[in-house]
A and B are shown apart, each in its own frame.
Chain A
Amino acid sequence: MAAGETVLDADGYDVERARDGDPSAFDRLSSRHFARVYRFAYRMSGDAELAEDAAQGAFVRSYRALGGIRDGQSFVKYLYRAALNLLKDEARRRSRKPEATMDGPERAEGGSAGPEGSLAVRERDAALHRAVLALPEEFRTVLVLHHFEEMDVEEIGRVLGIPEGTVKSRLGRARARLREQLREWLVG
């Protein structure tokens, strides 16, 4: 097996080992993917505590569902879906749209005061964070998966179980809304 193949199959290998009861296998899966699931949940919710709960919950659910997960790709897809469903459940419980919190800029790395350029960038990022959180959930999901999780349209369609055309349409409309919200930052 070539080195590249080994790297690509790491998730698949560990899913199989975890299914067979190897505890270290799921440890590796968690180490490899927790950060991305957390970042996704945080960018979707703007709430660090909720994001941590959703990310942890996604791994608990995927652990329980290992018997039905066939390979590494399915595992990652399951994680994102589980995190998204947990966030939706929480949003329904709270019965309100997720609101931007000042957690965003404060939790960001390298947040100490710096030259004016850095402050302007941080303010822009804070505005971007708020605008993303203000998007309808279906637009926000595809935008976060594409721009922050670096998934292509096909992958997003697989994760969310929607056609590629729908992904593209939602992305286009999400960006149109963001441009509207961030006009003061984008106009030269």
Chain B
Amino acid sequence: MKRDCRWVNDRLAGFREGWLEAPERAEVEAHLSACEACRRELEADALLSAALAERPPVEVPDVSWSDVRRRAGLADRRPILGRLAWAVPAALAAAMVGVWLSTPRTPAPTGTTVAAADDAPRLNDAFLLSSSMDAAGDPHRVLLALGESVQ
């Protein structure tokens, strides 16, 4: 099959680097033998290859992993706990709040003092923060989701 210049052009790199399968290679060779423009293009690809091979230098900034880790707020890696380990205690905390809020208040027996709802035990904010926050987490989102006020 006779191939046009565009088809051959897209395969000149493969032709030079030896990637082409035998039938394609034969078609490129046949075209090159009859097309001066594509032969010049083949020479240009050789020059381009040479320029690319020189790999113009790139100055690399001096960055250490400890700097990156500190900026990203990454904790030391724990072999057993995975990235989502925080989600389990957070889910438990949320479930506990939900249970507590939905528990009906039973009237106290006569003579017994019952603490008002506002005085009822609340989940510790510090516990929520420590268990709900991963390296990039926002503690405020957790608190807002639970209806807590944000200081």
A30-60 with Cβ < 8 A to chain B: 30-31, 34-35, 38-39, 42-43, 48, 52, 55-56, 59-60
Inter-subunit contact A172/B14 (CB<8 Å): yes
Chain A residues within 8 Å of B48, by CB: 175, 178-179, 182, 186
Inter-subunit contact B59/A108 (CB<8 Å): yes
Inter-subunit contact B57/A108 (CB<8 Å): yes
The majority secondary structure among interface residues of chain A is: helix
Inter-subunit contact A39/B58 (CB<8 Å): yes
If A23-B76, A108-B56, A169-B10 touch, whether A64 touches B68 (CB-CB below 8 Å) is no
| Complex CA distance for A21 and B52, rounded to whole angstroms | 40
If A21-B79, A171-B14, A179-B44 touch, whether A60 touches B58 (CB-CB below 8 Å) is no
Inter-subunit contact B66/A186 (CB<8 Å): no
Inter-subunit contact A179/B56 (CB<8 Å): no
A58-80 with Cβ < 8 A to chain B: 59-60, 63-64, 66-67
Chain B residues within 8 Å of A20, by CB: 79
| Complex CA distance for A34 and B64, rounded to whole angstroms | 9
Partner of B12 from A19, A59, A176 at Cβ < 8 Å: A176
| Complex CA distance for A172 and B14, rounded to whole angstroms | 6
The chain B residue sitting closest to A55, CB to CB, is: B63
Task: Verify if A92 is at the interface (C-beta below 8 Å from B).
Answer: no
| Complex CA distance for A34 and B66, rounded to whole angstroms | 13
Q: What would 10 more interface pairs be, CB under 8 Å, given A19-B77, A38-B63, A109-B59? A: A21-B76, A26-B65, A31-B64, A34-B65, A56-B72, A64-B135, A168-B14, A172-B11, A176-B10, A176-B12
- 10 nearest CB pairs, A to B: A30-B65, A125-B56, A175-B13, A147-B52, A186-B44, A109-B57, A172-B13, A35-B60, A107-B59, A186-B47
Instruction: Give residues in A with beta carbon < 8 Å to B.
Output: 18-21, 23, 26-27, 29-31, 34-35, 38-39, 42-43, 48, 52, 55-56, 59-60, 63-64, 66-67, 104, 107-110, 124-125, 128-129, 143, 147-148, 153, 168-169, 171-176, 178-179, 182-183, 185-188
Write 22 A-B pairs (CB below 8 A) sorted by A numbering: A21-B79, A23-B77, A30-B65, A34-B63, A38-B63, A43-B58, A56-B72, A66-B77, A108-B59, A109-B57, A109-B58, A128-B51, A129-B56, A168-B14, A172-B12, A175-B45, A175-B48, A175-B49, A176-B9, A187-B44, A188-B43, A188-B47
